[in-house]
Chain A
Amino acid sequence: MQIPMILTAVIGLLMIIEFFFPMPASVTSLNVTLRSFVTIISATALILGTIVLTIFHTKKVGTRGSEWYYSIVYVVAFVVTAGLGVLNVRDTTFLWIYNNMTSPIGAALYSLTAFYITSAAYRVLRARNWNAAVLLVCALVVLLMLIPIGAILFPPVVPLGEWIRSFPSGAGFRGMIIGTSLGIMGLGVRVFMGRQKEHLGIREERRDSE
């Protein structure tokens, strides 16, 4: 149970001290090797995962398991795309699949955000209390500042919006960033010292009552 924590602490410290202190070439090259381990292990896991997934879906089609027709989509997509990619990654058909199918699907999913932001804004921007009213006014000023017609209709929104973004908003965010950075440092100390290990799936019973 101690091995994962020792590995975390030693490798983590090796990576960190490289940023702060000039290290001998042996340590630097060790770090480069360790980082290349990450790439190799990730690539191996990807290949293994792809093989397992393909076997799973092929078996499902063969045995006509539940919703087996979706598995046909996977098998066909995998065979065509991987086949074309292996034959020639610069092949125009392979690139066509990426540019005209994969990419637009990703963009379409991302664009869902716009619709949900609109309905979320409607939910949030209601002056139910004093705090919500401040939020509403600030949001309106910044929105007016950002749209071209806003400055024409009401010119003072430009300096006012800039002030909101630069001072109250900027100060708040900087405070959060400082707090978050300290939180990350605290987390790092706890993890490197092996005091906090829940993230490794290791459970430790309570040692003492609070």
Chain B
Amino acid sequence: MQRAYSGKLPKLRRLAAVNQIDEILGRCVEMGRPAYYLMDTVTMDNPSVLAPTVAAFQILAYTARSAARLGARFFVPVTQGLAYTIASEIVDEAYKAENKQDELKLDEAVMYLPDGADRMYIINHMWSDGMAGAFFLGSWYHKAVIFTENAARVGAMMLGGTDTTHNIPFLVAICDYSIIGEELYALGAYVSEDPTVSSSLAGQDVGKFIAVILIVLGSVLITLGMSIKGLLSM
């Protein structure tokens, strides 16, 4: 990021998911049906859930703005009070940014559904609305299968992504497009309006290289029967 401040922006590979967001929303516009943006667990005071929730909010900002620009109907059910307030603000800002406030009915676009009641409401409306596109991003647990399977039966085009490793296989297997693990965080930065933010992705890759080097080094040392602790104490 420091290098980006000084004007040296790294070359970043375009994430396929960026195009897929617009593709899904475009399909919804063509078919005159809504797009659902689902985030599952959004407990803001749980550290393990907070990071994917923040990432999902960042992608929501981009998706809502694209939906406003393209004129796609957009529905964001949220199962937690604080997260609902934030999601409402994000969607409202996105429509304002595109000068489409008149097309937004915020109470209908962003809805608070208590955890438990959300499953039946969302499944029922998936079928009655005949939704054409869906985004499953954030911290997903068992509801990943319930919602994605219903969306697949309705015939929606889906983009799924989570960092909960035991649910990644479900989203990858059922969704048309998927982002895996860290791509959830990368996508939020990639679609950011600030190029210095997207530049931080290059820094993450440096971190990955360092991790790989350390893993290989550790494997070699363990294979040779040497421990780092022992080497350091010498």
Measuring CB to CB, which residues of chain A are less than 8 angstroms from any residue of chain B?
A: 38, 42, 45-46, 49, 105-106, 109-110, 112-113, 116-117, 119-120, 123-124, 135, 173, 176-180, 182-191, 193, 195-196, 198-208, 210
Query: Given A46-B81, A173-B165, A199-B57, 18 more contacts at CB 8 Å?
Result: A113-B146, A116-B145, A120-B145, A120-B173, A123-B174, A176-B165, A176-B168, A177-B181, A178-B211, A183-B55, A183-B186, A186-B207, A190-B189, A198-B57, A200-B89, A202-B93, A207-B194, A210-B198
Q: Which of A42, A110, A177, A190 contacts B197 (CB 8 A)?
A: A190
Total A-B residue contacts, Cβ distance less than 8 Å: 151
Can you list 29 A-B pairs with a CB-CB distance of less than 8 A? A46-B81, A109-B116, A109-B119, A109-B120, A113-B143, A116-B145, A116-B146, A116-B149, A120-B173, A123-B174, A173-B165, A180-B185, A183-B182, A183-B183, A184-B51, A186-B200, A186-B204, A187-B51, A187-B55, A195-B194, A195-B197, A196-B188, A201-B86, A201-B89, A203-B61, A203-B94, A203-B96, A204-B194, A207-B193
State A120–B145 Cα separation when bound (angstroms). Answer: 7
Shortest CB-to-CB span from A5 to chain B, Å, is 13
Interface size class of chain B, counting residues whose CB lies under 8 Å from the partner chain? 35 or more
Q: Which residues of chain B have C-beta atoms less than 8 A from A196's C-beta?
A: 58, 188-189, 192, 194, 197
Picked from B173, B181, B200, B203, the residue with its CB within 8 Å of the CB of A179 is: B181
Across-interface contacts of A186 in B (CB, < 8 A)? 185-186, 189, 200-201, 203-204, 207
Contact A195 to B196, CB < 8 A, known contacts A42-B45, A182-B204, A182-B208: yes
A66 to chain B, nearest CB (A): 14
Which of A49, A117, A182 contacts B211 (CB under 8 A)? A182
Query: At the interface, is chain A mostly helix, strand, loop or mixed?
Result: helix
A198 lies within 8 A of B192 (CB): yes
Interface residues in chain B, defined as those with a beta carbon under 8 Å from any beta carbon in chain A: 1, 9, 45, 51, 54-55, 57-58, 60-62, 81-82, 86, 88-90, 92-94, 96-97, 116, 119-120, 142-143, 145-146, 148-150, 152, 163, 165, 168, 170, 173-174, 180-186, 188-189, 192-198, 200-201, 203-204, 207-208, 211
